[in-house]
Structure 1
Amino acid sequence: MTASVSDAASRPLHLGAPFKAALVQMRTAKSVAANVEAASGLIRAAAAEGATYVQTPEMTGTMEENRQALFAVLQEEETDPALAAFRALAKELGIHLHIGSLAIKAGSHRAANRSFLIGPAGAILARYDKIHMFDVDLPNGDVYRESEAYRPGEIAVHADLPEIRIGLTICYDLRFPALFRALAEAGAGMLAVPAAFTKTTGEAHWHVLLRARAIETGSFVLAAAQGGTHENGRETFGHSLIIDPWGRILAEAGTEPGFISAVIDPAEVAAVRRRIPSLENGRRFELLPEPGAGRLHLAASGPAPAGDAA
Structure 2
Amino acid sequence: MVLPGRAMATFRLALIQLQVSSIKSDNVIRACSLVREAAKQGAKIVSLPLLIDLCANVSLLSMKGSIPEEDAGKLYNTCAVFGPDGTLLVKHRKIHLFDIDVPGKITFQESKTLSPGDNFSTFDTPYCRVGLGICYDIRFAELAQVYAQRGCQLLVYPGAFNLTTGPAHWELLQRGRAVDNQIYVATASPARDDNASYVAWGHSTVVNPWGEVLAKAGTEEMILYSDIDLKKLAEIRQQIPIFKQKRSDLYAVETKKP
* Fold equivalence (TM over 0.5): yes
Q: 1:268 to 1:141 in 2, by over 3 A?
A: same
Q: Deviations over 1:238-276 (max 9, x none)?
A: 111111111111111000111110111112221111111
What letter is aligned with 1:160? D
Match among 161, 164, 184 for residue 200 of structure 1: 164
Match of 1:55 in 2: 47
Match among 136, 140, 161 for residue 172 of structure 1: 136
Q: 1:172 to 1:137 in 2, by over 3 A?
A: same
- Answer yes or no: is the 8 Å Cα contact 1:26–1:258 preserved in 2: yes
Match among 87, 91, 95 for residue 131 of structure 1: 95
Aligned residues: 250
Match of 1:34 in 2: 26
Work out the CA distance in 1 between the residues paired with 2:129 and 2:177.
16
Work out the CA distance in 2 between the residues paired with 1:202 and 1:140.
16
Between stretches 221-230 and 192-201, larger displacement belongs to 221-230
Q: Deviation at 1:222? A: 1.0
Please give the residue correspondences for 1:280-299 in structure 2 after superposition, counting only pairs within 5 Å: 280-284=244-248
- Answer yes or no: is the 8 Å Cα contact 1:26–1:227 preserved in 2: yes
What letter is aligned with 1:222? A
Post-superposition, which runs of at least 4 consecutive aligned residues in structure 1 deviate over 6 A?
Answer: none
- Answer yes or no: is the 8 Å Cα contact 1:29–1:230 preserved in 2: no
Work out the CA distance in 1 between the residues paired with 2:28 and 2:101.
31
Q: Deviation at 1:139? A: 3.6
Please give the residue correspondences for 1:1-310 in structure 2 after superposition, counting only pairs within 5 Å: 12-14=1-3, 16-17=7-8, 18-57=10-49, 60-61=50-51, 82=52, 85-86=53-54, 89=55, 91-108=56-73, 110-229=74-193, 232-284=196-248, 300-301=250-251
Between stretches 155-164 and 36-45, larger displacement belongs to 36-45
Q: 1:56 is paired with a residue of what secondary structure?
A: strand
**Considering only CA atoms, is the larger Rg found in Structure 1 or Structure 2?**
1
Between stretches 98-107 and 115-124, larger displacement belongs to 98-107
Q: 1:31 to 1:104 in 2, by over 3 A?
A: farther
Work out the CA distance in 2 between the residues paired with 1:275 and 1:156.
29
Q: 2:200 is paired with a residue of what secondary structure?
A: strand
TM-score under structure 1 length normalisation:
0.76
**Structure 1, unaligned stretches of length 5 or more?**
1-11, 62-81, 286-299, 304-310
Q: Deviation at 1:38? A: 2.5
- Answer yes or no: is the 8 Å Cα contact 1:243–1:249 preserved in 2: yes
The structure in which a higher percent of residues are helix is 1
- Answer yes or no: is the 8 Å Cα contact 2:106–2:164 preserved in 1: no
Q: For the aligned residues, what is the CA RMSD?
A: 1.9
Q: Deviation at 1:214? A: 0.6
Q: Deviations over 1:211-254 (max 9, x none)?
A: 11111111111111123126542111111111111111111100
Work out the CA distance in 2 between the residues paired with 1:236 and 1:284.
39
TM-score under structure 2 length normalisation:
0.90
- Answer yes or no: is the 8 Å Cα contact 2:39–2:60 preserved in 1: yes
Between stretches 189-198 and 267-276, larger displacement belongs to 267-276
Work out the CA distance in 1 between the residues paired with 2:91 and 2:79.
6
- Answer yes or no: is the 8 Å Cα contact 1:227–1:235 preserved in 2: no
Q: Deviation at 1:302? A: 7.5
What letter is aligned with 1:125? L
What letter is aligned with 1:260? L
Work out the CA distance in 1 between the residues paired with 2:164 and 2:121.
29
Q: Deviation at 1:16? A: 4.1
Q: 1:204 is paired with a residue of what secondary structure?
A: helix
Q: Deviation at 1:137? A: 1.2
Work out the CA distance in 2 between the residues paired with 1:235 and 1:257.
14
- Answer yes or no: is the 8 Å Cα contact 1:27–1:230 preserved in 2: no
Q: Deviation at 1:111? A: 1.8
- Answer yes or no: is the 8 Å Cα contact 2:130–2:152 preserved in 1: yes
Work out the CA distance in 1 between the residues paired with 2:244 and 2:103.
39
